Amino acid sequence: MSEEPTPLTRNQIITWWASIIGVCLIIAFGSIFVTRAYLLRRDYEFENWRPPHIARLETDLEAVNRDGRKVSLGELRDKIYIAGYQYTDCPAGCLGMASVMKTLEEEFGGDPRFRLVSISVNPKDDTPEKMNAWVEKHGVDSENWWFLTGDADEIAKYMISQFKFYGTELITDPAKVKAVGEFAHDQRLALVDGDANIRGYYDVMNVQRGNQEFERLVRELKMVLDPELKLSDFSVETE
């Protein structure tokens, strides 16, 4: 017959429970330490967050401004600008985009570092004269706001390869053309800093979240213009 196990002594029981409690305390304090370290790191990252460097304009784009002057994006080095696609025959979306950019001009136009750049989706038809007439008609006339046209192929390639914008598609359905225009194009705005880095894309024309995207654009534009600003300076929650 096998011998029955020897009952634990009182000291052994105390030692066993002490070991269990000790392990539990180590786990508890370890969890508290890890959680505290995580919260401190999260607060640090929140406080020191900056709009990221998403892409960079590695090459230059030569174009023609609405006043007929030949310009290049390289001239905007040391400037901070918002860039987007537009074209004069667009029946709806481009007017909304221009309205958004006009609001930015009204708020930030007094800063000598700030610029706006609208680049034609349809350079073959958007002559400088036509673009200038469109600008005057819609009240978005500002010397700090470029409306660029030029070689259609070069602009299309540049917007995809450098700005990382979506490719443009030609719409052929007459009903759709009447409603949204001849071109389905990227309607985001890009924020470019003084070193030609793209710091953000903003889907300001999005039906559902356009207002939030515009608020994010304004907030991040302010942070690029003023490196001393932090997220905690804005009464918003992180997204």
| Residue of higher predicted confidence among 94 and 44 | 94
Q: What is the pTM of this model?
A: 0.80
Outline where DSSP puts E strands in the chain: 55-56, 62-65, 70-72, 80-86, 114-120, 145-149, 169-170, 183-184, 189-192, 197-202
Tokens of 110: 């007094």
In 85-198, alpha helices (H):
93-108, 128-137, 152-161, 174-180
**Residue 35 reports pLDDT greater than 90:** no
Query: In the structure encoding, which two tokens stand for residue 121, read together?
Result: 């989706």
Query: In the numeric block, which tokens belong to residue 74?
Result: 């390289």
Q: CA angle 230-234-239, nearest 5°? A: 90
pLDDT digits (tens, 9 = 90+) for 116-163: 999 999 999 999 999 999 999 999 989 999 999 999 999 999 999 999
Average pLDDT, the chain: 87
User: Band of the pLDDT at 17, cuts 50, 70, 90?
Assistant: confident
CA atoms within 13 A on the CB side of 194: 10
* β-bridge mates for residue 109, sequence order: none
| Site of tokens 């990221």 | 52
Please determine, for residue 40, whether its predicted confidence score (pLDDT) is greater than 60.
Answer: no
- pLDDT above 90 covers a percentage of the chain that reads 62
What is the rounded average pLDDT of the residues 14-37? 73
Pick the more confident residue, 2 or 86: 86
Q: Can you list the pairs that 132-139 forms with residues at least 24 positions away whose Cβ atoms lie under 8 Å?
A: 132/66, 132/67, 134/88, 135/66, 138/95, 138/98, 139/102
DSSP structural state of residue 205: T
Q: How is residue 135 written in tokens?
A: 């600008």
Q: Is 11's pLDDT higher than 90?
A: no
